[in-house]
């Protein structure tokens, strides 16, 4: 019988983690946080860690909120320009 704490993680799961590190190192933090969050989320989601359902849901909420905020901040100047031009 294998102890739950000694369960082996697949080396493939290091790929999302490496992705997160790459994103964080590749450019200034302000541009990279959403990318890194996505990769870390992927890692959490597929790493085999049995996150409790409410924590997984909280992770999804936080990530989506972050992505939407990032997207809106990117589009805001163009949207304001467009509204002014109408």
Partner 1 sequence: MALGALWMLIANLGVCAVSAALVRRHPSGSRSLDLVQFLLIRMLFISAAVGLAGLLGLLSAVPLGLAGLLALAAVLLTRAVPFGPLRLPALPAVPAAALAFAGLLMAAQVWFFVPVIGDVLSYHLPKIGEWIQHRGFTSEWGTDPRSTFPSGFELIETWWVVFLHHDVLLEMAGAECWFLGVASAWTLARQVGLAASSAALSAAGAALTPGLFLQATSGLNDGAVASLLAATTALILGRVPWGFLLIPVGLGLGIKPTYGFALPGLALLLWLDRREPRGMPAAVRTGAVLGSLALLTGASWYLRNLVQFGDPLHPMGRLGAFINEGHIAQQVGPRWTTLFENLRRLFDNRIYDREPYHPMLDLITGWGPFGLCGAVGLLWAVRERPALRRLGWAALASTLVTLSLVASDAWSLRFILFLAPLFCVGLAWAAEELPLLRPLAAACLLVQAAGVIMPASLPPGSLRELAGLSWRERSLGPYGAAALPPDQVGCMVGPGIRPYSLYGPAFERRVRYLRQETGAELAAELDRLGLNGFLGNPGGRPVKELLALGGWKRDVGSLYLRTPPR
3-state secondary structure the chain: CCCHHHCCCCHHHHHHHHHHHHHHHHCCHHHHHHHHHHHHHHHHHHCCCCCCHHHHHHHHHHHHHHHHHHHHHHHHHHHHHHHHHC
At its nearest, how many Å lie between partner 1 and the CB of residue 72?
Answer: 6
Kindly determine how many residues on this chain lie close enough to bind partner 1 according to the rule CB under 8 A.
29
Contact residue for partner 1 among 13, 17, 24, 38 (CB under 8 A): 38
Residues that bind partner 1 (CB under 8 A): 31, 34-35, 38, 41-42, 45-46, 56-57, 60-61, 63-65, 67-68, 70-72, 74-75, 78-79, 81-83, 85-86
């Amino acid at each position: 019988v294998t102890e739950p704490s000694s369960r082996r993680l697949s080396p493939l799961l290091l790929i999302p983690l490496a992705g997160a590190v790459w994103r964080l190192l590749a450019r200034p933090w302000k541009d990279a946080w959403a990318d890194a969050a996505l990769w870390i989320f992927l890692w959490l989601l597929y790493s085999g860690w049995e996150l409790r359902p409410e924590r997984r849901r909280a992770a999804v909420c936080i990530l989506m909120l972050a992505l939407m905020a990032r997207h809106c901040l990117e589009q805001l100047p163009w949207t304001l320009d467009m509204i002014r031009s109408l």
